[in-house]
Amino acid sequence: MPTFNQLMKHPREVRLHKVRVKALQRCPYKRGVCIKVYTTKPKKPNSAIRKIAKVQLSNKRRIILAIPGIGHKLMVHSVVLVRGGRANDLPGVHYKAVRGKLDFTMDEKFVRRNKRSKYGKKK
């Protein structure tokens, strides 16, 4: 425990947490254009085919994002809205696309009752 005089000389420092979504430049969302849309497999122990896209943001940065939900019609030159949020089992994927905005339409083939707000579905 430091003494009062030690704290007067060297006050306590508030440590800032590391920003993991640097490409967004402290913005909640950024617009981007799909360069490549493809699938990949997650790391162990999970097994699936995850849909991801390489996107060039409006600030010219290129990132890899996860495509959430079931089914999509994204292709090259589609415009998407990007938010933070990593895909836990995909290394290097720290962003997600926002469903229901710009070219990323909300066209799932079933009625979504749960998790509607995450996927932009009205009640």
> At residue 107, does pLDDT exceed 80?
no
Q: What confidence score (pLDDT) does residue 66 get?
A: 95
Establish if 114 belongs to a structural domain.
Answer: no
pLDDT per residue as tens digits for the range 20-76: 899 999 899 999 999 999 999 999 999 999 999 999 999 999 999 999 988 899 999
Domain that holds residue 88: 22-109
Q: Is 119 helix (H, G, I), strand (E, B) or coil?
A: helix
**Look-up: residue for tokens 């005089």?**
5
Rounded Cα distance, 75 and 78, in Å: 6
* Mean pLDDT over each residue of the chain, to the nearest integer: 91
14, part of any domain: no
Give the predicted TM-score (pTM) of the model: 0.82
Check pLDDT > 90 for residue 122. no
Q: What is the CATH number of the domain that holds 57?
A: 2.40.50.140
Domain count, the chain: 1
